Amino acid sequence: MEFGNITYRKPQRSSSLQDMSDLNSSSTLFDATVASLPNASLYESQNNIDLNEKINKLSSDLLIAHQEIDNLNSENTSLKLEIEKYQKIIKTFKKITTYSSCNTTPASVNKRRQTLQIPEQNLLCTPINRIEMSECSINEIKDKEQELVNNIEKTDSSNHLPNTSCHIHLEKEDIHKEHTEVIATDTNTNTSLNTPKTQLGNTLPYYIREKNDNYKLATFKMRRKIIVIADQQGRNICKTLQKLIGDNFLVTCYWKPGAKIQEVLQTEKNEICKLTKNDYVVVLGGVNENNPYEFEFCIRSWLYSVTNTNVIFTEIPYNRNLNIGKLNYVLRFICTSFTNVSFINTNGSKPFFHQYTFTPYIPCRFLLREILRLDYKLKFELYQNIVISSKFTPLQTTSTQTDNIEMVDTCTQSDDILKDNIIEEITPRHENMTHSGKNLFRI
């Protein structure tokens, strides 16, 4: 082996660590560390006290600001709720003052042609809010009638009424007709007042001109009244019901197209208060309702004020906004809680029935049947009360004298005659009325 290429390296001597014994005596090393600093928390200087006060003050201000923010948020939400509430009230008022969407939709061509035709002027079946009398008002008609009656009573046989410009022409043959009219003309104003015979009054005197130009005083019989208040269902109800029920009743209809039940029930309150138990009020409404609770409240409050006559409610026809079955059930329940109120079913709640086959003849047929039923019930109760009162009359003791016996016989005969007259009044009228409408009750 060759040892010439081998190199020998000497191990490097490491320097020894620095002696720390000398450094312990000096504080230069430990003064530069954190542990050498004094504890500032234990040392209460004025600067630290001021800083702590500022921190507490800022934290309290921050809490107050948070509370103010919360109060503003709650106030903002309450204002939003009030704004929504007033917006709803404004919408409801707009709906009340404007027509509904179903009434504002364009009508078909056939309906437009019908509306373009001039309607017949009939005071008994025209809407209250659309009555336009170009010739004179109802008050003027009543004043004219009163003047005519006063002037007729003063004169016995005179064609022209003295001290006035009005005169009456009433033919004798026209009295037996169904649609007689008394025409009062004014020569100064050249206007004529055409009113039905029954509308001028029930027991007013009139002079009839005979063939020999002699005038004879004629009085008309008292007729019972039927007042119909309705919405758009009241179209042609007056004419149809008057034909079916005959001349024993005077039918008057007040109808308001597009009106709610509250507006319908407010019509002719004074006239309804003057009615008696022998008269009837017919209510047709509910087509334009959208709030069942308001509907129920209006009907109850109105029925509590109308107790002097008989009231008939008809079934509410089909309505897309409400549950008609439930609403008719509530209306029937309200009617059963009053003795003078009745409810009739006209089969108008079905959508197909009301939309395609509704005519005034259908509700008038049901109304005729209900009025005849109530009329017979009233007559029967009257007869029953008379019979009961006659049973409980005290017996009269008679002596053997013939005068007392004759007096008792006359009393019993008068009671029998009274009963027979009442029975005769009940049966013929209903036989005549039912004979005229006997085929109308078949459904």
With helix as H, strand as E and coil as C, how does 213-231 read? CCEEEEECCCCEEEEEEEC
Chain Cα centroid distance, residue 336: 18
Distance (Å) of CA 76 to CA 79, 84, 88, 89: 5, 12, 19, 20
- Helix and strand totals (H; E) in the chain: 14, 10
Domain map (residue ranges) of the chain: 125-219, 224-375
Evaluate whether 255 touches 127 at the Cβ level (below 8 Å). Answer: yes
State the Cα–Cα distance between residues 195 and 118, nearest whole angstrom: 20
The separation between the first and the last C-alpha atoms of the chain, rounded to the nearest angstrom, is 143
pLDDT tens digits for range 163-192: 333 333 333 333 333 333 333 333 343 333
pLDDT tens digits for range 369-422: 999 999 888 888 888 888 787 766 554 544 444 444 444 455 445 555 555 555
Fold of 224-375: Rossmann fold (3.40.50)
SS3 at position 327: helix
**195 Cβ neighbours under 8 A, 6+ residues apart:** 123, 141, 145, 181, 182, 184
Chain Cα centroid distance, residue 1: 135
pLDDT given for residue 119 in this prediction: 47
pLDDT given for residue 433 in this prediction: 47
Q: Of 374, 371, 375, which is closest to residue 426 (Cα–Cα)?
A: 375
State the Cα–Cα distance between residues 390 and 413, nearest whole angstrom: 13
The tokens for 285 are 């409404």
pLDDT given for residue 78 in this prediction: 92
SS3 at position 48: helix
The tokens for 423 are 């029975």
- Give the strand order in the sheet containing 166-169: 166-169, 181-186, 191-196
- The residue behind tokens 């209809």 is 253
Helix 237-245 vs helix 361-391: crossing angle, to nearest 10: 50
This prediction's pTM: 0.42
* Residue segments in the chain with a per-residue pLDDT below the cut of 70: 1-4, 8, 10-43, 99-221, 349-358, 391-443
Strands 280-284 and 341-344 come out as: unpaired
State the Cα–Cα distance between residues 83 and 80, nearest whole angstrom: 5
Residue 173 DSSP class: G
| Residues facing residue 185 across a β-bridge | 167, 192
Evaluate whether 376 touches 427 at the Cβ level (below 8 Å). Answer: no
pLDDT given for residue 178 in this prediction: 38
